Amino acid sequence: MPADPAPVPSAPQRILIAGVTGSGKTTLARRLSAIRGLPHIELDALFHGPGWTPRPAFLDDVRAFAATERWVTEWQYTSKGTDPILAPRADLAIWLDYPYRVVRTRLLRRTISRSVLRRELWNGNREKPLWAMLRHGPEENILRWQTTTLHKWRERMPEIAAEHPHLPILRFGHPHETERWLRALPRTS
């Protein structure tokens, strides 16, 4: 990361939240949406069509909301083409760089809850039963996906900072740091 990062805007209007699966990107996006009055666009809902199939309109939908003036979203689907759309428009990136034990515990709790409760996630999809998930590779097993991509953001952030010098990146190493930052944010009325 550069020695002289971009200044953090006092009232960011377009926020990307990066982090490994299970770090809490969507939860933080929802909280920021409520605190700052920003529309939250959940990328998983835009990406997953019925039967877990990718929606053909995904990137068009990402372009449409990215062109608006205010939003908060998870920084994911980078291999599907979201980086050149979202990063140039964002005015703040938040990187949840939490310890493995934190993200693994969060992901286990979330996955087990979704699987047992059979809660609908996006477009009629539900988490697979745990026994079915454990038989598959990273593309279908969220726990293996997390392990495979655990260090992705640490590897990518220096390049992202160099490519997008306008984009301030706040890196939080523990949920306590994120909570302190959230408490200090001005609320919208």
- Extended beta strands in the chain, E state: 14-19, 71-74, 92-96, 169-172
Report the chain's terminal Cα–Cα distance, integer Å: 35
Digit-coded pLDDT (tens) for 30-40: 999 999 999 99
Of 77-81, 110-114, 127-131, 177-181, the range with the lowest mean pLDDT is 127-131
| The pLDDT value given to residue 2 | 41
Of 48-52, 123-127, 128-132, the range with the lowest mean pLDDT is 128-132
Q: What is the average pLDDT across 55-65?
A: 97
Q: H helices of the chain, where?
A: 25-36, 43-47, 58-66, 83-86, 100-117, 130-133, 142-148, 152-163, 175-184
**The tokens of 72 are what?**
């908060």
pLDDT band at 105 (very low <50, low <70, confident <90, very high): confident
**The tokens of 111 are what?**
């996955």
| The pLDDT value given to residue 52 | 79
| The pLDDT value given to residue 130 | 65
Strand order in the sheet with 169-172: 71-74, 14-19, 92-96, 169-172
Q: Which of 162, 127, 145, 131 is nearest to 23 (CA)?
A: 145
* Rounded-to-integer distance, Cα 107 and Cα 109, Å: 5
| The pLDDT value given to residue 9 | 66
* Residue 13 confidence (pLDDT) above 60: yes
User: Which residues are bridge partners to 170 per DSSP?
Assistant: 94
* Residue 6 confidence (pLDDT) above 70: no
